[in-house]
Structure 1
Amino acid sequence: MRKILVVGAGQSGLQLALGLQQHGYEVTLMSNRTADEIRSGRVMSTQCMFHTALQHERDLGINFWESQAPRIEGLGISVAGPDGSRPIDWVGKLEGYAQSVDQRVKMAGWMETFAQRGGQLVIHGAAVSDLDYFSRSYDLVLVSAGKGELVSMFGRDASRSPYDKPQRALAVAYVHGLGPRPEHPDYDAVRCNLVPGVGEMFVMPTHTLSGRADILFWEGIPGGPLDVFDSIKDPGEHLATTLDLMKRFLPWEYDRADKVELTDAGGTLAGRYAPTVRNPVGRLPSGGLVLGVADVVVANDPLTGQGSNSASKCAASYLASILERGDQPFDAEWMQSTFDRYWETARHVVKWTNAMLAPPPEHVLNLIGAGGQLQPVADRFANAFDNPADLENFFYEPAKTEGYLAEAAGAR
């Protein structure tokens, strides 16, 4: 029986550990927190998982909260005018519903499931020296802890990382009491609000520790009016600031937020990080090798909502590569080819996210605007959140965008 060590208990690490466990591998999982500490801690992310990523969980039978989490059937784009108006406002219908589950709920539940199924769970904040020691006892070491000292083992790939500093300041609040958008009360949708030159706000339904909730998520251009959360430590002040900025820039969202309250004392989060692609193979001081997973090697800004989706897709891709390897050694060549296989999916996310971080060119503005007149355009753009590879066909090149819009208009 091959022995595998997974370091990090997030979406990718736990999904991989549970998948490997089901296929008979002897798996050890290292986490710096217990399940109870995760469950009672601060929110860790925003997450909206689309059909493909959700299917990877279903394939492993670990979609434990699917019946409880809201079914997100649409994705809407609104663009704020300087006078508080909405010159662009539309909703695209998703082909398969999306869902969001608070990672405190999911990761704690998955960790307990892993242990109940006989997995070896080690609660320890791993350093490079720890991995150097442990690696001698395992056939493969996978690093899925995307922060801290371990990331330093994986060098930045400058050719795939155009930004060397954060492009957005992030601020999250989980709330109860958000009212529906009056124009679309009949189904749940993620709402993407664009404030040109200022930033973006995303509003999405989720399932949290106390049941149904909504996530209010600001992405502010550094140095701008939204970049004010770093110094706020009090959760109540964080929410009040979130609402004040909604009132100023997005009055239609503020109008349905007059009764909101935080889901819990840990329901806020703020921070920033530079989107980075790293080399996938890390070398330990003793010469041993480790393979980076998901955010460790491809960390995107959450602007396009791809973090948990990419983590799920990476875990599924790596699982397939490990199973196909059989009894052959997990050497550097295999590690690189395993990452390259995942990169065929990840590269589309990186290209799209980095493009959206920059001011949109005219043809993209035309595309977003067309979603309000042509429902098929709105639907296709919404479903690109599940399959970003489709954007190659209509998003990046002006000629392709114009051709697609002409075709969509002619089909009316």
Structure 2
Amino acid sequence: MPPLSPRVLIVGAGQSGLFLGHRLLDLGFRVELITNQTSLEIRESPASVTQFAAPSTRALEEQAGLDLWREQAPRFERVRLSMIPPQGDVFRFSGRLGASPIGERIGEHAVSVDRRIKMADWLEYLEDKGAKVHIQTATLADLKYYIRMYDLVVVAVGADQLGDLFHVDRSRFSGAHERVMVQAILDGVAWEGDRQLDVYTSPHGEVFLTPFLTSQGEATSVTMLSTPGGSLDAGGMAGRSPGPLLAGMQTLLREHLPEVYERIAHLGVDDLVGGAKDITYSKFTPMVRKPVAFLDGVPMLGMADVVVTSDPITGQGWANSTFCAQVYADAIAERAHSGKPFDAEFMENAFDKFYQERGRHSAVLAGMVHNFWRGTLPPHFNDLIGAVVRYPEVADRWISGFNDPADYERWMFDPQAARDYIAEVAARAGS
């Protein structure tokens, strides 16, 4: 690193912005960050969509010294997937998240930590390590003032005017299907056996039940997803107070996913761990934007949700944010050593590396889930479903795609590759 290291401004204090800030500080960069909330305000804010750190994501957090809740967060190593057709038997199996290796990893389990805890702790830690934090809402006028003061500006918040600076890139596949969500963080959800990530998928929508660390201790996040206008679309309940919103969520589940309803039927508003702030309604529009925006002729680099908005159905939000930040940190360090400027070409290349290695695979996963109930999956998926029931190794590999979505392309999506793999597993099993 040159004696006077590059000065980097990060706009946004989410998973990607804070992870990048910590990595760059550790590499010797001068880092400043703009966020519109103090750590206390983050802790007291409403809940946002629940994310989880799968083994590969958690490994990056550990390597960066950011796994601050390793003793407190409930661990889970498995995902149980229940596919519930309109009629007929439920197809259910479970598998291990860490069954498919990705690079160097630490352990096999996943964790889900309330974003309010995680981001507040990371923000305070970033400041303790020497970053300068500006508490303000960053406007275009602010950025026009700041942009020539730094060697690089990274935008890690995609809302309002800032997100609009980055144009939609229709040349890249996003798996774009709008989602609506109602989510409740509850104490007392019914479980059978060990807690794991439970995923229910049906033509009506999806529900995730996630073991979850809150500021009050362990709880369960119940996340209900639907397409707009779908059977589990709670849009008519948006804006209601917590009691009616929870009751409406239960009503929809009782009608369309009674198995899930039974697990939360006994719970009421008093079981919301953080009260009114712990039940929320949101809308998502997955998309890919171009990674470079120009302000007064100066390029800025977009990151994570700004440029790849993940469909929450894939569970890839924190993975995409973390891997994008890691790829950017490596690219920034390499560029700094070269002495070349952080120009638009550098930014395009850094994003393309992330998109090719991670982002596009998450988009394909979203498309696969969406197509499952539309009957548009290829015929060889019948072979896959039969193999999942018969061979635990195949079930593990299917589930481990949450950890490494790129693996689906290596075996699942190609009919011949899938059949060859199943034949190999069968031969090893002696059947």
Q: Same fold (TM over 0.5)?
A: yes
Q: Structure 2 CA distance, aligned partners of 1:70 and 1:387?
A: 21
What are the within-5 Å matches in structure 2 for residues 96-135 of structure 1? Answer: 96-135=108-147
Cα pair distance change 1:314/1:162, threshold 3 Å: closer
Q: Structure 2 CA distance, aligned partners of 1:4 and 1:162?
A: 29
Q: How far 1:252 sits from its partner (Å)? A: 2.7
* 1:389 equivalenced with 2:415 (yes/no): no
Which of 334, 339, 350 is matched with 2:363 structurally? 350
Is this contact kept in 1: 2:232–2:253, CA < 8 A? no
Is this contact kept in 2: 1:69–1:207, CA < 8 A? yes
Q: How far 1:162 sits from its partner (Å)? A: 5.9
What are the within-5 Å matches in structure 2 for residues 196-211 of structure 1? Answer: 196=203, 198-211=204-217
Is this contact kept in 1: 2:13–2:35, CA < 8 A? yes
Cα pair distance change 1:368/1:221, threshold 3 Å: farther
Aligned to 2:74: 70
Gaps of 5+ in 1: none
Letter in 2 for 1:348: H
Letter in 2 for 1:298: V
* 1:255 equivalenced with 2:296 (yes/no): no
Q: How far 1:372 sits from its partner (Å)? A: 2.6
Q: How far 1:221 sits from its partner (Å)? A: 2.3
* 1:294 equivalenced with 2:304 (yes/no): yes
Say which SS state the counterpart of residue 45 (structure 1) adopts: coil
Aligned to 1:310: 320
Which of 154, 169, 184 is matched with 1:157 structurally? 169
Q: Structure 1 CA distance, aligned partners of 2:299 and 2:226?
A: 38
Letter in 2 for 1:239: L
Say which SS state the counterpart of residue 122 (structure 1) adopts: strand
Letter in 1 for 2:288: V
Is this contact kept in 2: 1:348–1:388, CA < 8 A? yes
Letter in 1 for 2:256: F
Q: Structure 2 CA distance, aligned partners of 1:209 and 1:101?
A: 9
Is this contact kept in 2: 1:80–1:249, CA < 8 A? no
Cα pair distance change 1:17/1:44, threshold 3 Å: same
Q: Structure 2 CA distance, aligned partners of 1:407 and 1:119?
A: 52
Which of 211, 231, 237 is matched with 1:225 structurally? 231
Say which SS state the counterpart of residue 277 (structure 2) adopts: coil
Is this contact kept in 1: 2:237–2:248, CA < 8 A? no
Cα pair distance change 1:177/1:321, threshold 3 Å: same
Cα pair distance change 1:299/1:66, threshold 3 Å: same
Q: Structure 1 CA distance, aligned partners of 2:427 and 2:205?
A: 34
Say which SS state the counterpart of residue 33 (structure 1) adopts: coil
Letter in 2 for 1:39: R
* 1:174 equivalenced with 2:185 (yes/no): yes
Cα pair distance change 1:110/1:89, threshold 3 Å: same
Q: Structure 2 CA distance, aligned partners of 1:338 and 1:59?
A: 21
Cα pair distance change 1:91/1:58, threshold 3 Å: same
Cα pair distance change 1:179/1:354, threshold 3 Å: same
Question: What is the root-mean-square deviation in Å for CA atoms of aligned residues?
Answer: 1.8
Say which SS state the counterpart of residue 173 (structure 1) adopts: strand
Q: Structure 2 CA distance, aligned partners of 1:130 and 1:335?
A: 22
Moved more, 364-373 or 168-177: 364-373
Is this contact kept in 2: 1:132–1:288, CA < 8 A? no
- Calculate percent identity across the aligned residue pairs: 35
Letter in 2 for 1:384: G
Q: Structure 1 CA distance, aligned partners of 2:175 and 2:188?
A: 38
* 1:39 equivalenced with 2:54 (yes/no): no
Is this contact kept in 2: 1:230–1:270, CA < 8 A? no
Q: Structure 1 CA distance, aligned partners of 2:266 and 2:39?
A: 32
Cα pair distance change 1:221/1:365, threshold 3 Å: farther
Aligned to 1:3: 7
Q: TM-score, with normalisation over the residues of structure 1?
A: 0.93
Aligned to 1:373: 390
Q: Structure 2 CA distance, aligned partners of 1:72 and 1:230?
A: 34
Q: Structure 2 CA distance, aligned partners of 1:36 and 1:162?
A: 34
Letter in 2 for 1:329: P
Q: Structure 1 CA distance, aligned partners of 2:281 and 2:144?
A: 33
Deviations 1:296-316 (Å, cap 9, x if unpaired)?
Answer: 111121111001111011111
Cα pair distance change 1:10/1:368, threshold 3 Å: farther
Is this contact kept in 2: 1:76–1:191, CA < 8 A? yes
